[in-house]
Amino acid sequence: MEHVHKHSSLPKSITILAFTINLFMAIGKGFVGFLAQSSALIADAGHSLSDLFSDLITYWSIHYSQQPKDENHPYGHGRFETVGSFIIALMLVATGVGVVWHTLERIENPIIPGELALWAAGISIAMKEFLYQLTYRIGKKQNSRILIANAWHHRSDAISSIAALIGISVALLGFPLLDPIAGFLVAGLIIKSGVDIGYSSIRELTDEVAEQEVIGTILKTLEGIEGVEHFHQVRARRMGPHLLVDLHLEVNCMMSVSAAHQVAERVRWHILETMPAVNEVLIHVDAEQDSEEGEIVLMRPQAEVEQDIRNALDAIPEITGISHIYCHFLKQKLSVQVDIMVDPEMKVQQAQKLGNRAKIILEEIQDIQLADIHLELLDFDQHFAPENAA
């Protein structure tokens, strides 16, 4: 049961914009950091360079995640976003380690940076915060986790630039060793960002259950839907920007299959309409609460039971036919409802006695705990032909 989502071009557009800005930022900060002899600013330039590659990965992930379902990907391509997020996480950690190595080298040869580095760091903070605000809003609107992750990456850059700015300022005041310390702080922020994104990606790739608030929203959505008696085993997992939901739905145990299917469809569409992030809903309809042990003893097939019923009732000549046989397998017990046909001239009292007789015979059949006999009053051949049966 799937729900068709229309893909927007906004995620790709904002990623292209971020790539362009990060390209100029990496070149600019690297050049200024070299001229100003600021290890913190050079480290920040390396972070911007990693942003450049992360933007490429983001664009690639978004592009493939928006591809339609196919035979090899029946659940869609949403996990491409997750894979992309994990790659970005690895790149961030590697970049952070590289910054640490670079900063260690600069501790041995501290150099006081120039005032030009202050201006470069200030511009970097403004641009990165701009990218964060824009990317985060679009990510939330499109429910794109990779865009949200990239947005926080932009903000981590702004924080990194603030650290670089502080390091440069105190170095200009005569404490050059504080500039490499700021470089360590930048490296720590980069590594933490990578670990957080990587952890989130691994959780999704291993099908960890979605956030508790997602389950809570689903449970609230199910309340008050007509025909739903109970629900359990409600689960949700992420598939990139989408959610896949499956649940067990309990309906009246005497409800027909077609009526139960209607209830399930009503539940499915209600979830899809109230939760746009949900892409697919799988509903298992139960007639009763599942066994706590999770094991159900299989009983005889219905066709076999029906044949035993027909054989038993054939021994009663007053029964001219059987219009319907319903088998109910509830609580590891079998009850049957049988609609019989008799001579239309038969009196009601005679028909009642005949029904009681048939009931006793059927309840002697293996597995049948209860037999409910109904009298068919209509012409079965006319009113219950297969093409007219519901």
**Structure confidence at residue 269 (pLDDT):** 92
Looking up residue 14, the CATH number of its domain turns out to be 1.20.1510.10
CATH of residue 331's domain is 3.30.70.1350
Q: Which residues have C-beta within 8 Å of that of residue 291, sequence separation ≥ 6?
A: none
pLDDT tens figures, 209-227: 677 778 888 888 888 788 8
Tell me, yes or no, whether 356 lies in a domain: yes
The angle, 0 to 180 degrees and rounded to 10, between the axes of the packed helices 39-65 and 145-172 is 170
* Residues 232 and 84 occupy one common structural domain: no
Residue 370: inside a domain, yes or no? yes
Strand order in the sheet with 333-342: 319-330, 333-342, 368-375
**Per-residue pLDDT tens digits for 114-151:** 566 667 777 878 888 899 899 989 988 887 878 887 88
The pTM of this model reads 0.66
Q: Is residue 193 part of a domain?
A: yes
Q: Which of 147, 177, 205 lies at the terminal end of a domain, its last residue?
A: 205
The residue range of the domain holding 383 is: 302-388
Q: Which of 103, 123, 278, 91 is nearest to 193 (CA)?
A: 91
The amino acid occupying position 244 is L
Within this chain, do residues 94 and 191 fall inside the same structural domain, yes or no? yes
The verdict on 91 and 172 lying in the same domain is: yes
| 248 lies in the same domain as 317 | no
Residue 292 lies in a domain: no
Measured in whole angstroms, the distance separating CA 71 from the mean position of its chain's CA atoms is: 20
Query: How does DSSP classify residue 185?
Result: H
Is 3 among the domain residues? Answer: no
* Cβ pair 48, 26 in contact under 8 A: yes
Last residue of a domain, one of 187, 205, 223: 205
Whether 2 is covered by a domain: the verdict is no
Q: Are 376 and 341 in contact (CB under 8 A)?
A: yes
So what's the pLDDT on residue 353?
Answer: 92
Count of domains for the chain: 3
Nearest Cα residue to 167 out of 41, 275, 339 = 41
Q: What percent of the chain has pLDDT over 90?
A: 18
Contact 355, 373 (CB under 8 A): yes
